[in-house]
């Protein structure tokens, strides 16, 4: 699953877990975008913070893992390049790119889309406000055999978005229960999304520290 993850939230995690279950995936690799090609005009948080939040969010699911390929690669983070890289990392594996329905409706504008769809399947998760019945109509420009490589999947309607979470933090409104607690703590400790605030450096001790008897000693 690729994303800007600024911040990662339960909408992303529920979609990823739904796809893992429905398509019997061995694992889901979360790949924060280095420079999302569709958000060049938008200010996004430094990759190191988005990486930390993603790592914190993945902790409780043994099937979830992480790759930094996109943040390490210079230039725009085109998904087609990432999928080529994933095919090199997992030779012979069937790859599914998990995405939201809104993103898939824009797929015709993605870089080298036909090549991309020939390399992996797409799983489009429904998201409140986006109707998947339009898919065929919106993507009519795609050859039929490529259109067939896009699956749709219903996930519980979680009206959660990163944009809303950033706005809530700026306005001092709660973000609790919209995203994992460790990510919430990270946002406040580092000072992300507050107007004019310069975020602190990532806190590498962000993961819970366990005492010898297994008690959680300190968390962010
Ligand atoms: P976003 O910025 O939408 O990520 O980027 C999604 C991915 O598409 C990234 O990997 C981009 O690099 C890639 N992309 C976009 C455009 C062009 C190209 C590539 C190209 O190669 O040319 P967000 O962090 O906002 O969200 C991540 C995913 O989660 C998205 O697919 C979004 O639709 C989905 N999502 C939800 N799904 C279900 N319920 C919710 C969701 N909120 C976000 N509540």
**Beta-ladder partners of 216:** 210
Q: Along the chain (220 residues), what's the average pLDDT of each consecutive run of 10 residues?
A: 97 96 97 90 92 97 97 95 97 96 87 96 78 72 88 84 97 97 97 79 49 42
Q: Spell out which residues line ligand 1, taking CB within 6 angstroms.
A: 2-5, 11-12, 15, 33, 36-39, 77-80, 99-100, 102-103, 110-111, 125, 127, 155, 158, 160-162
Q: What is the model's pLDDT at position 129?
A: 57
With 0.75 as the threshold, say if the pTM is over it.
Answer: yes
Q: Tell me if 207 is assigned to some domain.
A: no
Q: How far, in Å, from the CA of 102 to the mean position of ligand 1?
A: 8
Q: What is the model's pLDDT at position 104?
A: 86
Residue 134 DSSP label: G
Q: What is the model's pLDDT at position 1?
A: 97
Site to probe by mutation for ligand 1, drawn from 32, 100, 164, 178 as the one with most ligand atoms within 8 Å of Cβ, is: 100
Q: Distance (Å, rounded) from C-alpha 99 to C-alpha 44?
A: 19
Q: What is the model's pLDDT at position 37?
A: 87
For residue 166, the enclosing domain spans: 2-190
- Total of domains in the chain: 1
- In degrees rounded to 5, what are phi and psi of residue 11? -60, -45
Residue nearest to atom 44 of ligand 1 (CA): 11
Q: Tell me if 49 is assigned to some domain.
A: yes
Q: Which H or E run includes 124?
A: strand 121-125
Q: Is the peptide bond before 7 cis (omega within 30 degrees of 0)?
A: yes
Q: Tell me if 58 is assigned to some domain.
A: yes
Site to probe by mutation for ligand 1, drawn from 38, 78, 132, 178 as the one with most ligand atoms within 8 Å of Cβ, is: 38
For the CA of 31, the nearest atom of ligand 1: 10
CA distance readout (Å), 197 to 3, 10, 98, 173: 24, 25, 33, 17
Q: Tell me if 44 is assigned to some domain.
A: yes
Q: Tell me if 100 is assigned to some domain.
A: yes
Q: What is the model's pLDDT at position 214?
A: 43
Residue nearest to atom 23 of ligand 1 (CA): 3
Q: Tell me if 60 is assigned to some domain.
A: yes
């Amino acid at each position: 699953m690729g994303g800007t993850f600024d911040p990662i939230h339960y909408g992303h995690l529920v979609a990823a877990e739904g796809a893992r279950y429905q398509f019997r995936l061995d694992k889901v690799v979360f790949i924060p975008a280095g420079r999302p090609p569709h958000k060049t005009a938008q200010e996004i948080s430094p990759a190191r913070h988005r990486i930390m939040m993603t790592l914190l969010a993945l902790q409780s699911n043994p099937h979830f893992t992480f790759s930094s390929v996109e943040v390490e690669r210079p230039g725009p983070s085109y998904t087609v390049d990432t999928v080529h890289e994933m095919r090199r990392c997992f030779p012979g594996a069937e790859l599914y790119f998990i995405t939201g329905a809104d993103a898939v409706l824009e797929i015709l504008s993605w870089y080298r889309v036909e090549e991309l769809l020939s390399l992996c399947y797409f799983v489009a998760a429904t998201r409140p406000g986006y109707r998947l019945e339009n898919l065929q109509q919106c993507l009519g420009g795609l050859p039929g055999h490529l259109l067939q490589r896009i699956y749709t999947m219903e996930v519980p309607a979680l009206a959660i978005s990163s944009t809303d979470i950033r706005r809530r933090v700026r306005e001092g409104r709660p973000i609790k229960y919209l995203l994992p607690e460790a990510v919430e703590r990270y946002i406040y400790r580092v000072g992300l999304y507050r107007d004019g605030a310069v975020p602190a450096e990532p806190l590498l001790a962000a993961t819970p520290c366990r005492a010898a008897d297994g008690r959680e000693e300190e968390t962010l």
